[in-house]
Amino acid sequence: MAEPLRVAVRRGSILECVHEVHAVAVHDGSVVADAGDRSLPASLRSSAKPLQALPLARAYEGLAEDELAIAAASHFGTPEHVEVVRRLLAATGGREDELDCGLQDGRPPEPVFHNCSGKHAAMIAVCRDSGWRVEGYRHPDHPLQLALHEEVAAAAGLETAETSTGPDGCGVVCFGLPLERAARAFSELEGLEGGERIAAAMRAHPVLIGGEGATDTALMRAQPQWLAKGGAEGLMCAASTDGVGVAVKVVDGNSRALRPALAAFGAELGLELPDFHEVPVRNWHGEPAGTVSLL
């Protein structure tokens, strides 16, 4: 097994802490690069959103690219993001009072401002197209969540019984699977029915996927031939136009280690991210106080 990556946080001459990071890349079903344990269990969380958006792309051929992109987003709740969520609802017959993603601390007390509102708008749309009740769409026994479980498992080359499930922060089902299978799912995304539209939308609208300063947004801006989607607890998944899928996981869940790890691992794959190699740490005065970089 290849050694995992180690990302150090330094403050002046002090080595403050070290994050262990595991990574794997898959192409045509085979591992082409790895660092650490490719079988490490990973919770996809929001990294599953591009896969969860596939039924929307298949059901609604007339949706605009930005409306598809917001379905795969963990957005910052800016006016631009919220406007696109509202347009997605309007285009598919949904209403804001149907959004069951909860309220998010630090944002206006309306579900449309939640970072998962685009995904939930898409889920409501798929329910309508499929003839399923909208009420309860986020619960694990709802036909929508059962169908999405099958969607994610199939993309990863697994049976549903081989994937773990749990409740996500916004209340829908989230999925656990080995890191290699997460990379495989992203390598397959563009070849799945509806996947080409989701991939094109993400690459065309990186700021909708996260927002200014988000790592997935910054990666796609730096390398437009790639798409990327972050998950909670230090996970990042990405895919290139030629079908390389990547999954990177910080073991302790701290996402500050992702950029240096992506820069180091991505260099093996032609994913050049020069601005990711060293992330500055600043104090409350805005002064340079340290760095986050590969050990």
Which amino acid does the sequence have at 249? Answer: K
Angle at 81 between CA 93 and CA 108, to 5 degrees: 95
pLDDT value for 180:
98
| Pairwise CA distance, residues 122 & 168, whole Å | 16
CA 18 – CA 205 distance, rounded (Å): 34
Q: What is the pLDDT of residue 1?
A: 74
3 DSSP assignment: P
Beta-strand (E) ranges in 36-194?
41-43, 164-167, 173-178
165 pLDDT higher than 80? yes
What number is the average pLDDT over the span 124-134?
98
pLDDT tens-digit readout, 238-295: 999 999 999 999 999 999 999 999 999 999 999 999 999 999 999 999 999 999 999 9
CB 32 within 8 A of CB 23: no
Q: Is pLDDT at 9 greater than 80 in this prediction?
A: yes
Residue count of the chain, please give it. 295
Contacts 24+ apart (CB under 8 A), 270-275: 270/240, 271/223, 271/226, 271/238, 271/240, 271/246, 272/222, 272/223, 273/219, 273/222, 273/223, 275/218, 275/222
Domains of the chain: 5-294 (3.40.710)
Could you give the C-alpha distances from 77 to 3, 63, 115, 190, in angstroms and in order?
38, 21, 6, 27
pLDDT in tens, 208-225: 999 999 999 999 999 999
The answer, yes or no, to whether residue 19 has pLDDT greater than 80, is yes
Considering only the C-alpha atoms of the chain, give the largest distance between any 2 of them, rounded to a whole number of Å.
62
200 band by pLDDT with thresholds 50, 70 and 90: very high
Residue that the structure tokens 């190699």 belong to: 277
Q: What is the mean pLDDT of residues 81-94?
A: 98
pLDDT digits (tens, 9 = 90+) for 30-51: 999 999 999 999 999 999 999 9
- Kindly report the pTM of this predicted structure: 0.97
